[in-house]
Chain A
Amino acid sequence: MAAVADTAKSIEAAAGDESPMARAWLRLKRRKSAMFGLGVVILLILVAVFAPLISPFDPAQQAYAFVRKAPSWRNWLGTDESGRDILSRVIWGARASLLAGVVSVAIALGLGVPIGILAGYSGGWTDAIISRITDALLAIPFLILAIALAAFLGPSLTNAMIAIGVTATPIFIRLTRGQVLVVKTEDYVEAARAVGNNPLRIAFRHILPNIMPALLVQASLTIAAAIIAEASLSFLGLGQQPPAPSWGSMLNTAQRFLNNAPWMAIWPGVAIFSTVLSFNLLGDGLRDALDPKER
C-alpha cells in the first residue's frame, strides 16, 4: 500500500505544476505545421513592426525611370506602374494587413464575447432576441456585409477594420453563447454559485477562462478571414487608400498589367496566401492542442 502511494507521488511530482495553458503549449510544440504557421506569423509581425528599417525604399517613392521593371538587383521584386519598389510595398503592406486582421478580430471579440456570455448565461428572452439577430446577420455572406458596411462608413483603413470587425462579431456571439451553454452546466460553475459568487464573477472568472481555448482557435482562423476581407476591400478601393500600400490595392492595380508585369500581382498574392495559410495552420494546431478532451 505504501509502495503504491509512493509511486503515485513520484508520478505526480514528474507531472510538475503545469497550468492547462502550459500543457497546451507543449502539445502545440509537437505539431510541425502549427509551428511553421506560428513561425511565419512571428516573422510577419517582425516585418510589419520593423518595416521602416528593412524596406529598401520608401513605399510611396515614385521613380519614372523604373516603371514596371522586372525583378533586378535594384528592385528585388520589381517595380510597379509608378516605379515604386514592390518589395518595399509588400513589406509596408504587411502592416495594413496584420493591423486589419488583429484590430478587426479584437473588435469582434470585444463585442461578441460579452454579448455571447450575456445570451448564454441569462437565457430566456435576452438569449432569444440576441440569437435571432445573430442568425439573421450570419445569413448574410461575410464579404457582402463587410463591403456594404465599409461603403456605408466611407473608404479608409479604419472604417474597413470596423466593418470587418462588426461583420465578424456574430461568429463570436454564436461561438461564445454555445460554449457558455456547455460550460454553465458544469459542476464547477454550480460550485461557484454555491460558494456565493455573483453572476458577473462567475461569467468572467469561472466561465470565460474555460471557453478561452475555443475563442483562441476561432480568433486565429478569423484573423485569416479578416486579412482576406481587408485585401478584398482594398482591392475594391474601400480599404487602405492610395498611395499607402496594401496588398489588396496592389492586386487591383496589377490586374491591368498582368501580361507584361506579372510580378506586380504575384508578390502581393504570395504575401496574402502565405499569411492566411499560416494563420490557418496555427489555428488548426491550436484546435488540436487545446482539445478539451485532453484537459
Chain B
Amino acid sequence: MNEPLLSVRNLKKHFVGSRSLLGTAQGHVRAVDGLTFDVARGETLALVGESGCGKSTAGRLVLRLIEPTSGSVRFEGENLEGMSASALRAFRAKAQLIFQDPYASLNPRMTVGDTLAEPLLLHTDLSPADRTSRVAELLQTVGLKVEHGQRYPHEFSGGQRQRIAIARALAPAPKLIVCDEPVSALDVSIRAQVLNLLQDLQQKFGLAYIFISHDLSVVRHIADRIAVMYLGRIVETASAVDLFAGPRHPYSQALLSAIPIAQPGAVRDRRLLPGDPPSPINPPPGCHLSPRCPHVRDVCRTLQPPLDADASHHATACHHWRDIASSGTVRASADAPSPELIRLFARFGAPTA
C-alpha cells in the first residue's frame, strides 16, 4: 500500500490565449504550469490559492476532463495518458467530481433518482430493481429521503442539491473525489453540515479527496495535507498542522496572515504583498512571486525554485526559505480590546480556542 492512489508529475496545461488570422496560436495562458503531487488512499489533499491560480483546472486535469499539455497522471499505477476512450470512461467510476455550484451541476430535466441511477447504469450490471434500491440507499447515505428521488432539482435548496451531487459522486463507488469548492456557494450555516458529511463519507468508504478551496478556515477543518498554489505552480506543500503552524513560503505566509484570530486583543503580523498577481499569459521568469516578494534576490528573477522538501515532507518552492523567519506570530494588539468583547469570548469561546 505504499504506492499512492494518485500521482501527478509535472502536469501542465497551457490554454491558447489568442489566435492569429490564420489560426496559429499566439499567446498561451499557463493555467497550470508544472504540478507534482501525490494523493494517498483515504487522504485529503487541499489545493488552496486565490482565484485564477489554476486550482480548478488542476482538478479537471487530474480527472482528465481536459487534456493536459504535458505531464503525467497515474491512478493506481496506471497512466491515464494513452488510455482509450472506453478505458477512460471505466476510470471515471473510480474518480469523481463535486462541483462548486449545486444549482448548475444537476440536470434540470432529470429527476434526482435518474441522476443517481445514471452512474450505476453506466458502471454496474445491476438490474433496474437493484438500481432503484441502491439509489434509495445513496439518498439515505447523504441524509436525504427516499421519496426525494422522484423530484426535480429545482425543488431542493442549495445544501440539499449539494448532497445530491455528493450522492451522484458516490454512486459508482469511487476511490477519489475531486471536490471543487464544494461549500463556497453554500450558506455558512449549511457549510459545516456538508463538510461533516464529506468527512463521515471519507471514513465510511475510505475515500481520498482533492479538496479545492480558497477558504482557509474550511481547509484547516478538513485537510490532511495542503498544497498552496500560486499562478499555476505549487509553492508550498505540508501537512495541514505544519503549514498552519509555520508557513515557510512568503506567499503562504501572506495568505495565512489574512486569517483573523478568534482571540480578543491579539493580531497577526500581517504580511501584505504589494500589487496583484501577474497575468498567467506572461508570467515573470524565475519565481512567479518575484515581482511581489519582500525577500526577493537576484536569483529569484531568473531561476525557478524547485520544491525543496525537508525530512517531514514539508516542501517549499523558494530559493531561501531557510533564511526567512517562519511566520504565524501572534502579538498583542496596540489597542486594548473592549471589555465587552472579552466577556463575549469568555462566555462563547471554545475553551481551547
Please state if A192 and B155 are interface contacts (CB–CB under 8 Å).
no
Is B97 at the interface (CB under 8 A from chain A)?
Answer: yes
- A196 near B152: Cβ-Cβ < 8 Å: no
Q: Kindly identify, within residues 24 to 53 of chain B, every residue whose CB is under 8 Å from any CB belonging to chain A.
A: none
Smallest CB-CB separation from B106: which chain A residue? A188
Contacts of B155 in A (CB 8 A): 12, 15, 17-18
Question: How far does the Cβ of A149 sit from chain B's closest Cβ, in whole Å?
Answer: 35
Cα-based distance from A198 to B118 in the complex (angstroms): 12
Which residue on chain B has the smallest CB distance to residue A292? B108
Q: Is there an interface contact between B168 and A191, defined as CB atoms closer than 8 Å?
A: yes
Chain A positions within 8 Å of B92 at CB level: 194-196
Question: Count of chain A residues with Cβ under 8 Å from any Cβ of B?
Answer: 24
Q: Tell me the bound Cα distance from A186 to B119 in angstroms.
A: 19
Docked CA distance A190–B104 (Å): 10
Whether the pair B99, A191 counts as a contact (CB closer than 8 A) is yes
Question: With A195-B118, A195-B122 given, is the CB distance from A188 to B65 under 8 Å?
Answer: no
**For chain A residues 222-242, which have a beta carbon within 8 Å of chain B?**
none
Residue numbers in B under 8 Å from A192 (CB-CB): 107, 118
Cβ contacts under 8 Å, A15 to chain B? 155
Q: Measured between alpha carbons, how far is A15 from B111 in the docked complex, in Å? A: 15
- Does A10 lie at the interface of the complex (its beta carbon under 8 Å from any beta carbon of B)? no
User: A196: which B residues are within 8 A, CB to CB?
Assistant: 89-90, 92-93, 119, 122-123, 172
Neighbour of A210 across the interface among B108, B151, B154, B171, CB < 8 A: B108
Summed over the interface, the residue pairs from A and B with CB atoms below 8 Å come to a total of 78
If the complex has contacts A15-B155, A19-B152, are A195 and B106 also in contact, measured as CB distance less than 8 A? Answer: no
B158 CB, nearest partner CB in chain A, Å: 12
A6 at the interface (CB under 8 A from B): no
- In the complex, the answer to whether B89 meets A198 with C-beta atoms within 8 Å is yes
Verify if B157 is at the interface (C-beta below 8 Å from A): yes
Chain A residues with CB under 8 Å of B123's CB are 196
A192 to B65, CA, bound (A): 11
**Residue among B65, B90, B93, B152 making CB contact with A18, cutoff 8 Å:** B152
The CB with the most chain B CB atoms within 10 A, among A18, A186, A192, A195, is that of A195
Do B109 and A209 touch across chains, with their CB atoms under 8 A apart? yes
A197 within 8 A of B: yes
Central interface residue in B85, B119, B156, by most chain A CB within 10 Å: B119
- Residue interface mask B79-110, A partner, CB < 8 A = 1: 00000010001101100110101001111111
Which residues of chain B are within 8 angstroms of A210 by Cβ–Cβ distance?
107-109
How does the 8 Å CB contact mask read for B103-142 relative to A, with 1 for contact and 0 for none? 0111111110000001100110000000000000000000
**Are A195 and B104 also in contact (CB < 8 A) when A8-B157, A12-B155 are?**
no
Q: Which of A17-38 contact B (CB under 8 A)?
A: 17-20
Min Cβ gap A58→B in Å is 48
- Binary B-proximity of A1-14 (CB < 8 A = 1, otherwise 0): 00000001000100
Whole-angstrom distance between the alpha carbons of A194 and B109 in the complex?
Answer: 18
What CA separation (Å) do A210 and B152 show in the bound complex? 14
Task: Look across to chain B and name the residue whose beta carbon is closest to the beta carbon of A19.
Answer: B152
In the assembled complex, which residues on chain A have CB atoms less than 8 Å from the CB atom of B104? 186-188
Judged by a CB distance under 8 angstroms, whether A74 is at the interface is no
Across the interface, do A295 and B154 meet the contact criterion of CB distance under 8 Å?
yes
Does any Cβ of B come within 8 Å of A193's Cβ?
Answer: yes
Q: Do residues A194 and B63 form an inter-chain contact, with CB atoms below 8 A?
A: yes
With the chains together, A194 CA to B95 CA distance in Å? 8
Using CB atoms, name the residue of chain B closest to A8: B157
Cβ–Cβ contact B150 & A17, under 8 A: yes
Q: Mark A83-102, 1 if CB is under 8 A from B, else 0.
A: 00000000000000000000
Of chain B, the residue at the smallest CB distance from A198 is: B89
Q: Judge if A206 is at the interface, Cβ distance under 8 Å.
A: yes
Choose from B101, B110, B119, B171 the contact partner of A187 (Cβ within 8 Å).
B101
Cα A38 to Cα B269 with chains together (Å): 70
- Max chain A CB contacts within 10 Å: which of B89, B90, B123? B89
The listed residue (A8, A17, A191) touching B105 by CB distance below 8 A is A191
Given that A20-B109, A196-B172 are contacting pairs, would A191 and B97 also be in contact in the complex, using a CB cutoff of 8 Å?
yes
B340 to chain A, nearest CB (A): 26
26 cross-chain CB contacts under 8 A: A18-B155, A19-B109, A19-B152, A20-B152, A187-B99, A187-B105, A188-B105, A188-B106, A188-B108, A190-B99, A191-B97, A191-B99, A191-B107, A195-B92, A195-B96, A195-B122, A195-B168, A195-B171, A195-B172, A196-B172, A197-B89, A197-B122, A198-B85, A209-B107, A210-B108, A210-B109
Where the two chains meet, the residues of B that have a C-beta atom closer than 8 Å to any C-beta of A are 63, 65, 85, 89-90, 92-93, 96-97, 99, 101, 104-111, 118-119, 122-123, 150-152, 154-157, 165, 168, 171-172
Q: Other than A191-B106, A206-B107, give 16 A-B pairs with Cβ distance below 8 A.
A: A8-B157, A187-B101, A187-B105, A190-B99, A190-B105, A191-B97, A192-B107, A194-B65, A194-B97, A196-B89, A196-B90, A196-B92, A197-B122, A209-B109, A210-B109, A295-B108
Q: Footprint of B on A, CB under 8 Å?
A: 8, 12, 15, 17-20, 186-188, 190-198, 206, 209-210, 212, 295
